[in-house]
Structures are given as structure tokens and as C-alpha cells.
Amino acid sequence: MGKNVLLVDDSSTMRKIIGRSLRQAGIEFDNIFEAADGLEALEVLEKENVDIVLSDINMPNMDGISFLREKSTRDGIKDIPVLMISTETGDDIIGEAKSLGAVGAIKKPFTPDKVNEVLGPLL
């Protein structure tokens, strides 16, 4: 059975770039779901079978940190790994994300090689 990924970013262009980077890195997913913010991401996770989430931090409505906090309280989705992809790289914000369950972070802009290096071991 294949893998499913959820891309969470308020920029539809960035979601397309991330999806393309996954393919260029040789990482194939059966389904790529998309959400524009943490609220939409929670809705997708409640409905779809998702193996990993790639999420931005800075988004309207519900940011990546709030998304991680809320996701961690919900049975059935709290154990789905989340990799942060963001321009935010400060130790404080990344540390907070990791303390809330994020499995790692990739700084924007990124290369397909960096995506493969960080994401490959998680799959």
C-alpha cells in the first residue's frame, strides 16, 4: 500500500513547489492532500489516511504551532508525524515545534536533496 502526504501551507504555489520537490527527490506518494492552514489540515487528517504531514509554521487562521498543539490532543491523528517546512528557523520556534511532536524541520528555500535527506528516513 502506498503512502499519503498532507501539504499544509497558505500559499498554493508553495504547496505545488513542495509536491514537485518530493517527486524530484524520488519520493512518490499515492495521494498528496493539501490544506491552506492548520484548521483545514485537521479536517483532512480526520477524513483521510495520511502517513506524514509537511507543514508551514506561519499561516492565517491556525498556524503550524497551534496545529501541532491541537493535533496532539486528538486520538487517531496525534501519532501522524509532522515535518515543519518554514522560513522560521530560530531554535526557539523549531524547539517548540519539536516539543509538540514535530519530527524535524526544513528551511525554505530548500532543494530536493534536502527534502530527501530529512524525509527519507521517516518513510
Read off the pLDDT of residues 26-79 as tens digits, 9 standing for 90 and up: 888 999 999 999 999 999 999 999 999 999 999 999 999 999 999 999 999 999
Domain segments of the chain as ranges: 4-116
Q: What is the DSSP letter of 96?
A: H
| CATH homologous superfamily, domain 4-116 | Response regulator (3.40.50.2300)
Contacts of 29 (CB under 8 A, 6+ apart): 2, 3, 4, 5, 22, 51
* Residue 69, CB-side half-sphere exposure with 13 Å CA sphere: 7
Q: Which pTM was predicted?
A: 0.93
**72-111 residue pLDDT tens:** 999 999 999 999 998 877 778 889 999 999 999 998 888 8
